[in-house]
Amino acid sequence: MLNLPNCPRCNSEYTYEDGSLFICPECAHEWSMEAPAENTEQHPAVKDANGNVLNDGDTVSVIKDLKVKGSSLVVKVGTKVKNIRLVEGDHDIDCKIDGIGAMQLKSAFVKKS
């Protein structure tokens, strides 16, 4: 069996080789051994409540009732949120929720669908 390196971004051991590139199936990071290692501290992997790595464009479900600050609206458990966008900060998911609008969520309160 080949001894392939772990992913430099999420440290996954399931990397595979495609031509001159190594690819991580968990976080979709691609790198080559000739290229200088990029600073992985800038882009840490964002994980959901179950530990699954989230990517831009994923669909997630809310796992807890969430009150919307400044209004009487509540995002109910099981609400599907499509086409998320990952951002930096405390609330690391940017999205639009039907009936509520644009908002930011914490990845700890969602699970990947």
Question: How confident is the model over 72-85, as pLDDT tens digits?
Answer: 999 999 999 999 99
Give 38's pLDDT tier (boundaries 50, 70, 90).
low
CA distance 92 to 56: 11
For the residues 7-15, what does the mean pLDDT come to? 86
Question: How confident is the model over 40-59, as pLDDT tens digits?
Answer: 445 578 999 999 999 999 99
CA distance 73 to 57: 25
Quote the pLDDT of residue 55: 92
pTM flag (> 0.75): no
Nearest CA to 85 out of 111, 59, 61, 108 is that of 59
Count of alpha carbons within 13 angstroms of residue 84, beta-carbon side: 28
Quote the pLDDT of residue 40: 46
